[in-house]
């Protein structure tokens, strides 16, 4: 629990000051810990950055698992995936900021692991588009490029979707799903366009 609290505190320090500009001394002060104790819990500054990434990816993948278990049509899957993703962005603004800005600072095995997890999530999104094309619910489209469009539209909300703001994750997820699902719908779909 102490380790998790350190990770969360570091996320807000990194989000405010930047990863490279933040020294271990600052992290010690923010956590009210000596250097020895901090290293005991986290190992290194880069390990801390990796832990922030994992915290986001754990939540994102849990959401994707819930969606897969819930089943439903590709359109329903897509709407649920969007709501889960925006919920993580809404609840973890600092972690997501660090996640999206500082991932190039991860090196070696940590960078590979992070890219692997990110790619795994992207594949889940692609699979939904592929399934929709296969069943004819979606029109013929490039599942990879369409997944990138969908990810951009949702991920980029980290700049303005904040816990404590006027918009909830659901306030945004619903109109976003409306745009995207209509945008990829196949010719046979008799969806409500009112």
For a second copy, the closer CB: 112 or 178: 178
For a second copy, the closer CB: 131 or 185: 185
CB of 182 to a second copy, least distance (A): 5
CB of 88 to a second copy, least distance (A): 15
CB of 159 to a second copy, least distance (A): 8
CA distance 49 to 174: 32
For a second copy, the closer CB: 24 or 183: 183
For a second copy, the closer CB: 9 or 155: 155
Q: Provide the binding-site residues for a second copy, judged by CB under 8 A.
A: 18-21, 101, 105, 139, 141-142, 145-146, 148-157, 160, 172, 175-176, 178-187, 193-194
CB of 108 to a second copy, least distance (A): 18
CA distance 98 to 75: 31
């Amino acid at each position: 629990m102490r380790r998790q609290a350190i990770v969360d505190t570091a996320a807000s320090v990194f989000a405010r000051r930047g990863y490279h500009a933040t020294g271990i001394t600052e992290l010690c002060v923010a956590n009210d810990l000596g250097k020895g104790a901090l290293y005991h819990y986290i190992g290194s500054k880069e390990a801390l950055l990796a832990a922030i990434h994992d915290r986001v990816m754990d939540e994102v993948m849990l959401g994707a698992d819930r969606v897969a278990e819930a089943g439903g049509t590709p359109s329903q899957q897509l709407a649920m995936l969007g709501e889960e993703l925006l919920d993580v962005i809404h609840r973890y603004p600092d972690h997501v900021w660090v996640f999206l800005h500082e991932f190039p600072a991860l090196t070696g095995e940590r960078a590979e692991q992070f890219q692997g997890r990110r790619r795994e999530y992207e594949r889940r999104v692609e699979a939904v588009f592929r399934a929709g094309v296969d069943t004819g619910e979606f029109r013929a489209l490039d599942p990879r490029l369409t997944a990138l469009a969908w990810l951009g539209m949702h991920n980029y909300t980290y700049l303005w979707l904040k816990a404590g703001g006027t918009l909830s994750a659901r306030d945004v997820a619903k109109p976003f799903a409306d745009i995207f699902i209509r945008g990829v719908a196949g010719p046979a779909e008799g969806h409500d366009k009112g």
